[in-house]
Chains A and B, each alone.
Chain A
Amino acid sequence: MLDIQDLNVVFGTGRLRVEAVRNVSFTVKEGEAYGLVGESGSGKSTVLRAICGLAPITSGRVRVNGKDVTTPRTKDFYRTVQMVFQDPYASLHPRHTVDRTLSEPLAIHGEKDAEARILQALKEVGLGPSFRFRYPHQLSGGQRQRIAIARALILRPKVLLLDEPTSALDASVQAEILNLLDDLRRRLGLTYILVSHDLAVVAHLCERLLVMRHGEAVEETASDALRSGKASNEYTQSLIQASQGFTRLPSQPAPAKVG
Chain B
Amino acid sequence: MTKPLLEVEDLRVRFHLRTGTVEAVRGVSFRLGRERLGIVGESGSGKSQTGRAILGLTPPPGEVTAKRLSFDGVDLLTASKRKLRELRGGRVSMVMQDPKYSLNPVMTIGEQIIEAYRAHARASHAEARDRALAMLEAVKMRDPGRVFSLYPHEVSGGMGQRAMIAMMLVTEPDLLIADEPTSALDVTVSMEVLRILDELVTERGMGLIFISHDLKLVSSFCDRVLVMYAGRVVEELEARHLRDAKHPYTQGLMRCLPTLADDVHPLPTLNRDPSWAL
Which residues on A are within 8 Å of B, measured CB to CB?
A: 39-40, 141, 170-172, 174-176, 178-179, 182-183, 197, 199-201, 203-204, 223, 226-227, 238-240, 242-249, 252, 254
Closest chain A residue, CB of each to CB of B203: A254
17 more contacts with CB within 8 A, not counting A175-B256, A179-B266, A179-B267, are A39-B189, A170-B43, A171-B215, A171-B253, A172-B252, A172-B270, A182-B266, A197-B187, A200-B257, A200-B259, A201-B258, A203-B263, A204-B267, A227-B260, A227-B261, A242-B191, A244-B260
Q: Judge whether A242 and B220 touch: CB under 8 Å.
A: no
7 pairs of A and B residues whose beta carbons are closest in the complex: A245-B220, A204-B258, A175-B256, A172-B270, A39-B186, A242-B187, A179-B266
- From residue 199 to 222 of chain B, which have CB atoms closer than 8 A to chain A? 202-203, 213-217, 219-221
- From residue 109 to 136 of chain B, which have CB atoms closer than 8 A to chain A? none
The CA-CA distance from A249 to B194 in the complex, in Å, is 12
Interface size class of chain B, counting residues whose CB lies under 8 Å from the partner chain:
35 or more
Q: Judge whether A246 and B186 touch: CB under 8 Å.
A: no
Whether, in the assembled complex, B198 has its beta carbon less than 8 Å from a beta carbon of chain A, the answer is yes
Closest chain A residue, CB of each to CB of B205: A254
Q: Judge whether B219 and A39 touch: CB under 8 Å.
A: no
Closest chain B residue, CB of each to CB of A186: B265
Residue in B198, B203, B259 whose Cβ sees the most chain A Cβ within 10 Å: B259
Contacts of B263 in A (CB 8 A): 203-204, 223, 227
Contacts A178-B258, A204-B258, A227-B260; A242 near B43 (Cβ below 8 A):
no
Q: Judge whether A172 and B186 touch: CB under 8 Å.
A: no
Contacts of B219 in A (CB 8 A): 245
Q: Which of B188, B191, B220, B270 contacts A175 (CB 8 A)?
A: B270
Closest chain B residue, CB of each to CB of A172: B270
Q: Which of A242, A245, A252 contacts B221 (CB 8 A)?
A: A245
Contact with A along B246-278 (1 / 0, CB 8 A): 000000110011111111011111100000000
26 contacts between A and B (CB under 8 A): A39-B186, A39-B188, A171-B214, A171-B215, A172-B42, A175-B257, A175-B269, A179-B266, A197-B186, A200-B258, A200-B259, A203-B258, A203-B263, A204-B263, A226-B260, A227-B263, A239-B187, A244-B216, A245-B216, A245-B217, A246-B191, A246-B194, A246-B195, A246-B217, A246-B221, A254-B203
The CA-CA distance from A40 to B157 in the complex, in Å, is 10
Contacts of B220 in A (CB 8 A): 244-247
Closest chain B residue, CB of each to CB of A228: B260
The CA-CA distance from A116 to B160 in the complex, in Å, is 50
Q: Judge whether B260 and A200 touch: CB under 8 Å.
A: yes
Q: Which of B189, B260, B267 contacts A240 (CB 8 A)?
A: B260
Contacts of B198 in A (CB 8 A): 246, 248
Contacts of A226 in B (CB 8 A): 260
Closest chain A residue, CB of each to CB of B183: A167
Q: Judge whether A175 and B268 touch: CB under 8 Å.
A: yes
Q: Judge whether B217 and A39 touch: CB under 8 Å.
A: no
Contacts of B191 in A (CB 8 A): 242, 246
Contacts of A141 in B (CB 8 A): 43
Q: Judge whether B267 and A178 touch: CB under 8 Å.
A: yes
Contacts of A40 in B (CB 8 A): 157, 186
The CA-CA distance from A62 to B202 in the complex, in Å, is 52
The CA-CA distance from A243 to B258 in the complex, in Å, is 11
Closest chain A residue, CB of each to CB of B187: A242
The CA-CA distance from A110 to B261 in the complex, in Å, is 47
Q: Judge whether A174 and B256 touch: CB under 8 Å.
A: yes
Q: What is the distance, in angstroms, from A132's C-beta to the closest C-beta of chain B?
A: 24
Contacts of A182 in B (CB 8 A): 265-266
Q: What is the distance, in angstroms, from A168's C-beta to the closest C-beta of chain B?
A: 10
Contacts of A199 in B (CB 8 A): 260
Q: What is the distance, in angstroms, from A245's C-beta to the closest C-beta of chain B?
A: 3
Residue in A141, A171, A254 whose Cβ sees the most chain B Cβ within 10 Å: A171
Q: What is the distance, in angstroms, from B157's C-beta to the closest C-beta of chain A?
A: 7
Q: Which of B257, B261, B262, B266 contacts A171 (CB 8 A)?
A: B257
Contact with A along B219-236 (1 / 0, CB 8 A): 111000000000000000
